[in-house]
Structure 1
Amino acid sequence: MEKRILVTGASGFIGSFLVEGGLERGMQVWAGVRKSSSRKYLKDSRIRFAELDFAHPGRLVEQLTVHKQMHGGWDYIIHCAGVTKCRHKEEFEQGNYIYTRNFVEALQALDMVPEQFIYISSLSIFGPIREENYAPINEHDTAMPNTAYGVSKLKSEHYLQSLSGFPVVIFRPTGVYGPRERDYFLMAKSIKQHVDFAAGFKRQDLTFIYVKDLVQAVYLAIEHKVKHRAYFVSDGNVYSSRAFSDLIQKELGNPWVIHFKCPLFILKVVSLLAEFSARCLGKVSTLNRDKYKIMKQRNWQCDITPLTDELGYRPEYPLERGVKEIIAWYKKEGWL
């Protein structure tokens, strides 16, 4: 009998690839979406849809009750739904912590807790640590998030880990890139326009994870039936602050590019002004105080040894291969 899996946040960048990963493995895949969610990347006829309203617990219980009566529960749930950009910092707690709690409480109340509940968290929960020696962040370090996003993700982790016997598996990916993603696309667009921008002058060690490698890691956890565990995810390499932009420049045919390094204090002012302006217009700015703190952070190394040793994770996309694929995709889709 095919295993049933629910991917929340399925209409998003990472979620849509997680849906495809389930289909590739012969699962019965349910895409958790809102009524207003785009289904642009959810066209496969095998995908089933579940509308879930995490904001209203009563409505959510009704939706799950109907689903249970008609289809039963799910063997696995990958909770990828959440927010990465908000107009007000309180919205991070709402979208990442409260909605997660609403969902889990509804599952418990209806006896719909799956075999595994996989939560997509973030390396950002650890904040700017180990910057004096640039050592990899590891699972024994104390998380000290300095962004509203990181705080909300850490709060969700603590909640999930506090539940007795709850079959949670947590993934903490570093910067995730790939087709369909728009933040890294802005870098490619800027470089095509002959401008590259970097934050600060001090050494910065960066890590990345191609979205298909993150999908591999998540499904390895399902395959190995792991529970009560948390893993960092990267491609296993460490890159300089120029590595990503240099590879983009190469894939674009080496256009001439002016490389700017912005002092952090100027970047902070610009970020606050961009956030304020966007808020006045009722919009969300890509550049904001959270983004400034992320760009300011110098050490993004993380220890993926547990992931490789316990699950046999072998990343297939070092940055050069990943950048080659995304630039080809951007061109094919007419983004560049």
Structure 2
Amino acid sequence: MESVLVTGASGFIGSFIVEEALRRGFGVWAGIRSSSSREYLQDKKIHFLELDFAHPGELCAQLSSHKELYGKFDYIIHCAGATKCVDKNDFERVNYRQTKCFVDTLRELDMIPRQFVFISTLSVFGPIREKTYTPITEKDTPVPNTAYGLSKLKAERYLQSIPDFPYVIYRPTGVYGPREKDYFLMAKSIRRHTDFSVGFRRQDLTFVYVKDIVQAVFLGIEKQISRRTYFLADGKVYRSRAFSDLIRKELGNPFVIRLRCPLIILKVVSLLAEYWAKRRNTTSTLNSDKYRIMKQRNWQCDITPTVEELGYSPEYDLERGVKETIAWYKDKGWL
């Protein structure tokens, strides 16, 4: 039985990857923190491994102990990371430095797997091709304008700098699906009869359903891909209201008041929300990073290499994905 370690296994994407790995017959190790929820990790076949990425010595001991008992992992899927932080510097600490520490420790212990999958983000590219509205390609030069995007880019470049290291990097666009909480806030707002949009310029959006990310990850494993980077999207381009319109449809077309927020107002509100969240030592959905993401006008990306090299074929367009997501929110009592 081949073994796979999924870090960030208790999270949105990680928990779906764990489920698919179990379905495919892998020996699955869920990399979690001691404080992590196990709500979506109930299968008795899951092995748990607590990993302390913040303390290199402890991480080394944890991985060394595992190697003595079970050997090294065949595959590692690194989903652990931060998407929201109280302090912007925490993005670099968690997404870059802790990833670097993890990889360095694997190399030191001779635990490099056959494939190291890194879940990155389309945000590493920042606001480019906004005049032409053409798809971002792997040949474009990344110019991230968020602390989150920069931290992921630094981690990518570190993996790419290691000779012969068997990385595969996936850069998903807007990820949604059951268990996801940010898009849930949109559904919650629409149920309360309010729909927000941002800015007055054209905005081209792209999305990828969480199960299509899982599909791509395991196609890469099946084909033993190494040292490649891929974009992940459903292959379609949507206007700014597409997501909210589909949510509204699944909620029975409730009456909504549509509010279009000028970017300058969004910026002020985001900065104030970030300031008060920092004062309370908590995170805020609205912050300066989120403002820059919402401000970005072009989220198109070229998935041709993903399709041709992996055989990737997205199973969910936005309509099907939103339908399944809203049904899950309702079933779980979120809506």
Pick the TM interval, shorter chain. Answer: over 0.9
Q: Which amino acid aligns with 1:115?
A: R
Aligned twin of 1:109: 108
Distance 1:300 1:280 in 2: 32
Residues 58-103 of structure 1 deviation map (CA, whole Å, 9 limit, x = unaligned): 1111001100011111000000000000011100000100110110
Give the 3-state SS of the residue equivalent to 2:184 in structure 1: helix
CA offset at residue 321 of structure 1?
0.4
Aligned twin of 1:129: 128
Aligned twin of 1:4: 3
Distance 2:179 2:72 in 1: 30
Residues 102-135 of structure 1 deviation map (CA, whole Å, 9 limit, x = unaligned): 1001100000000000000000000000000000
Give the 3-state SS of the residue equivalent to 2:116 in structure 1: strand
For residues 43-62 of structure 1, what are the structure 2 equivalents within 5 Å?
43-62=42-61
Give the 3-state SS of the residue equivalent to 1:232 in structure 2: strand
Aligned twin of 1:298: 297
Where structure 2 has 5 or more consecutive residues not aligned to the other structure, the ranges are none
Distance 1:282 1:230 in 2: 35
Q: Which amino acid aligns with 2:128?
A: I
Aligned twin of 2:270: 271
Does 2:237 match 1:261? Answer: no
For residues 134-145 of structure 1, what are the structure 2 equivalents within 5 Å?
134-145=133-144
CA offset at residue 182 of structure 1?
0.2
For residues 1-336 of structure 1, what are the structure 2 equivalents within 5 Å?
2-336=1-335
Residues 198-229 of structure 1 deviation map (CA, whole Å, 9 limit, x = unaligned): 11010000000000000000100000000000
CA offset at residue 261 of structure 1?
0.8
Distance 1:281 1:152 in 2: 24
| TM-score, structure 1 as length reference | 0.99
Give the 3-state SS of the residue equivalent to 1:292 in structure 2: helix
Distance 1:241 1:25 in 2: 37
Give the 3-state SS of the residue equivalent to 1:326 in structure 2: helix
Distance 1:251 1:64 in 2: 46
CA offset at residue 273 of structure 1?
0.3
Q: Which amino acid aligns with 2:94?
A: G
Residues 211-248 of structure 1 deviation map (CA, whole Å, 9 limit, x = unaligned): 00000001000000000000000000000000000000
| TM-score, structure 2 as length reference | 1.00
Distance 2:198 2:86 in 1: 23
Give the 3-state SS of the residue equivalent to 1:156 in structure 2: helix
Distance 2:37 2:61 in 1: 23
Residues 158-206 of structure 1 deviation map (CA, whole Å, 9 limit, x = unaligned): 0000001100000000010000000000000000000000110100000
Amino-acid identity (%)? 67
Give the 3-state SS of the residue equivalent to 1:171 in structure 2: strand
Instruction: Report how many aligned residue pairs link the two structures.
Output: 335
Q: Which amino acid aligns with 1:233?
A: L
Distance 1:240 1:26 in 2: 40
CA offset at residue 275 of structure 1?
0.5
CA offset at residue 281 of structure 1?
1.2
**Runs in 1 of length 4+ with deviation above 6 angstroms?**
none
Distance 1:5 1:283 in 2: 33
Distance 1:288 1:204 in 2: 20
Give the 3-state SS of the residue equivalent to 1:261 in structure 2: strand
